[in-house]
């Protein structure tokens, strides 16, 4: 632990070199790829979350209890468990995931192109880097 503090104290006494750079363009294809992988991670999360939620609700018997509550309130014979079957829940999660992937990937490309236009007009974004 003491070596951590010594390293911090030693590095603070050394002069820091600062480099100033300007970000003037983002490669649209690179931004599209990054957007796709972010959307893919979100899609996996949505599908796994839908699966876990369905498993939790069916294992606890909450779906059948909700069906009984809604049936007594509405006075109709409705089987909510059949409406929230495994296939319908996973189909909905898959549809939302695919829609999210298409929108996120295409918006990443649009935002990169929009940044390039604005950076061309304004000169870009100034960034400062240090050697620390």
Distance between CA atoms of 112 and 95, rounded to whole angstroms? 26
Q: Does the global pTM surpass 0.85?
A: no
Distance between CA atoms of 28 and 25, rounded to whole angstroms? 9
DSSP run (H or E) holding 20: strand 18-23
Residue 57 is predicted with a pLDDT of: 87
Mean pLDDT value of segment 90-95 = 96
């Amino acid at each position: 632990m003491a070596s951590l503090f010594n390293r911090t104290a030693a590095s603070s006494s050394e002069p820091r070199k600062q480099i100033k750079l300007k970000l003037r363009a983002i490669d649209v294809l690179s931004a599209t790829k990054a957007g796709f992988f972010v959307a893919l991670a979100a899609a996996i999360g949505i599908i796994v979350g839908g699966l876990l939620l369905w498993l939790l609700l069916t294992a606890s018997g909450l779906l059948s209890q909700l069906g009984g509550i809604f049936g007594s309130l509405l006075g109709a014979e409705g089987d909510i468990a059949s409406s929230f079957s495994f296939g319908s829940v996973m189909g909905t999660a898959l549809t939302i995931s695919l829609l999210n992937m298409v929108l996120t990937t295409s918006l990443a490309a649009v935002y990169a192109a929009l940044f390039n236009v604005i950076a061309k007009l304004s000169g870009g974004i100034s960034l400062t880097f240090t050697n620390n």
